[in-house]
């Protein structure tokens, strides 16, 4: 079995366009936690939380191109919600608990 490097994974992922097609997911800084063990590649793609469902095809494309690398038998790709999105207007609408005892 051929050893596959993190750099080979990232090079292949550079062929996957980002959510708005302006650049690839690696150069946009969306790929993280790349780990390779026993021919399996594991990594995360960070996306805005509100767009996670619509961006699932991006996850599938990343998984597909990595599985094409000789020596990779499987790819496990997680979409990770961008936590910065929680500081927007939706977070401000969250009600605070009412004071107790009155």
Percentage above 90 pLDDT, the chain: 63
Tell me how far CA of residue 82 lies from CA of 50, 54, 92, 96, in angstroms: 9, 14, 17, 23
- Cα 73 from Cα 47, distance rounded (Å): 25
CA angle (99 as vertex; 94, 101 as ends), nearest 5: 150
Instruction: Give the Cβ contact number of residue 52 at 10 Å.
Output: 17
What is the pTM (predicted TM-score) of this model? Answer: 0.75
**Residue range 54-64, pLDDT digits in tens:** 999 999 999 99
User: Is pLDDT of 31 > 70?
Assistant: yes
6-84: CATH homologous superfamily? Fe-S cluster assembly (FSCA) (3.30.300.130)
């Amino acid at each position: 079995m051929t050893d596959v490097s993190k750099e080979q994974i990232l090079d292949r992922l550079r062929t996957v366009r980002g959510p708005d097609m302006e650049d690839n997911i690696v150069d946009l800084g969306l790929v993280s936690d790349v780990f390779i063990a026993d021919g399996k590649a594991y990594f995360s793609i960070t996306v805005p939380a509100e767009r996670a469902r619509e961006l699932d095809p991006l996850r599938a494309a990343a998984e597909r191109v990595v599985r094409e690398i000789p020596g990779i038998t499987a790819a496990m790709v997680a979409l990770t919600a961008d936590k910065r999105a929680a500081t927007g207007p939706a977070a401000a609408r969250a009600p605070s608990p009412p004071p107790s005892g009155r």
